[in-house]
């Protein structure tokens, strides 16, 4: 199973809750899920995994680099699988929908600004808070 090798590669013991949570994150259409979202999806799928376990496993996954935690507006943490590809986010303030995007011009300009100030870019996180135009 791919999940087992991913867990082992991240240095984590393969346990049923870890496998179930990793499978859930990998198979859902919703790429950004809170711990509560993961818990509800597991319950709906008939899996017996407690909310405290979900929190603990997501924290372990974050420490191991399997997921990325985002604290968007309001401090509500959501998690997404760390797929290695960089992207930025837009958060719809009316619906809390998270939209991923990548723009090479934005990436280029950020590097230029950093260099103009005598630095090198190590990492960044761009979040745009949006509303539909009326």
Pairing relation of β-strands 88-92 and 127-130?
A: parallel
Which residues does the annotation place in the binding site for Fe cation?
86, 88, 107, 124
Residue 87: which of 70, 74, 75, 73 has the closest Cα? 70
Which DSSP string corresponds to the chain?
-HHHHHHHHTT----HHHHHHHHHHHH-S-SSB-HHHHHHHHHHTT----HHHHHHHHHHHHHHTSEEEEE-GGG-EEEEE--S---EEEEETTT--EEEE--HHHHHHHHHHHHHTT--------EEEE----
Which residues does the annotation place in the binding site?
86, 88, 107, 124
């Amino acid at each position: 199973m791919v999940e087992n090798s991913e867990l082992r590669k991240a240095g984590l013991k393969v346990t049923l809750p870890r496998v179930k949570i990793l499978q859930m994150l990998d198979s859902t259409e919703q790429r950004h899920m809170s711990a509560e979202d993961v818990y509800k999806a597991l319950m709906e799928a008939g899996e017996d995994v407690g909310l405290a376990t979900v929190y603990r496993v997501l924290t372990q996954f974050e420490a191991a680099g399997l997921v990325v935690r985002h604290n968007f507006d309001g401090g509500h943490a959501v998690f997404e699988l760390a797929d290695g590809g960089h992207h930025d986010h837009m958060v719809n303030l009316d619906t809390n929908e998270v939209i991923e995007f990548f723009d090479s011009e934005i990436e280029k300009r950020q590097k230029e600004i950093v260099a103009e100030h005598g630095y090198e870019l190590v990492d960044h996180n761009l979040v745009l808070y949006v509303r539909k135009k009326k």
